[in-house]
Amino acid sequence: MPLLIDGHNLIGAGVFEDINLADEDDEAKLVARLRVWKSRYRGAITVIFDRGIPGGRDRNLSGGGVEVVFAADPAQADDLIRRRLRGRRKGLTLVSNDAALLQVAEAHGVETLRGDEFVARFTLRAPESQEAGAEDDVQLSEDEVHEWLALFRSHRAKRPDRTRPGRSRRRK
């Protein structure tokens, strides 16, 4: 499923703690985040920014599976997005909170995700349960300690000598 992302709209939605429109590197930060997410996502990702570096596809920011396109102003960015929605590729999903663009997408049968839905879907979650062996305080009885020590000793005794021929083993 290809993603078409309304870049500055997503940044301006306030869904990222560390990326905002006041930051002069907001575009680069979003693209870096998208590249990380792209490593787990099989579809194409295109992000269109307005009020940025005019001139179409940005070769410096594009890469890592993310195509970056700049428009000269917000109206041009919205027009670019509308054109891509009309000529939609199969399975295209628009990521935006812009009501007018969401309406156009719906009219063309394009799936939509609001900014918060997109971030929630793509953000890795920490496991809810603790990994086995990561408990804070493990209590073993004396019998259990002796059982483990016996297992380790028997394993060590069965292990073949791994020294190379002609080299002696160090003794402690």
pLDDT digit string (tens) for 105-127? 999 999 999 999 999 988 876 56
Q: What is the pLDDT of residues 115-158, one digit of tens each?
A: 999 999 888 765 666 666 666 666 778 887 788 788 778 766 66
Query: Residue 160 domain-assigned?
Result: no
Furthest C-alpha separation in the chain: 79
Q: List CB contacts of 84: < 8 A, sequence separation 6 or more.
A: 4, 46, 92
Tell me if the pTM is above 0.75: no
Residue 6 in 3-state DSSP? Answer: strand
Write down the pLDDT at residue 169. Answer: 56
Query: Residue 148 domain-assigned?
Result: no
Query: Residue 155 domain-assigned?
Result: no
Query: Residue 99 domain-assigned?
Result: yes
Question: CA–CA separation, 4 vs 67, rounded Å?
Answer: 10
Radius of gyration (C-alpha) of the chain in whole angstroms: 27
Query: Residue 83 domain-assigned?
Result: yes
Q: What is the pLDDT of residues 59-116, one digit of tens each?
A: 778 888 999 998 877 788 899 999 999 887 778 999 999 999 999 999 999 999 999 9
Residue 66 in 3-state DSSP? Answer: strand
Query: Residue 158 domain-assigned?
Result: no
Query: Residue 94 domain-assigned?
Result: yes
CATH number of the domain encompassing residue 28: 3.40.50
The domain tally of the chain equals 1
Provide the percentage of residues in the chain whose pLDDT is more than 70: 78
Segments forming the whole domain that contains residue 38: 3-122
Query: Residue 29 domain-assigned?
Result: yes
Q: How confident is residue 159, by pLDDT bands cut at 50, 70 and 90?
A: low
Q: List CB contacts of 33: < 8 A, sequence separation 6 or more.
A: 16, 19
Question: CA–CA separation, 30 vs 32, rounded Å?
Answer: 5
Q: What is the pLDDT of residues 9-59, one digit of tens each?
A: 999 999 999 999 998 889 999 999 999 999 888 899 999 998 765 566 777
Q: List CB contacts of 114: < 8 A, sequence separation 6 or more.
A: 13, 95, 96, 97, 102
Using alpha carbons, select from 44, 49, 57 the residue that is nearest to residue 30: 49
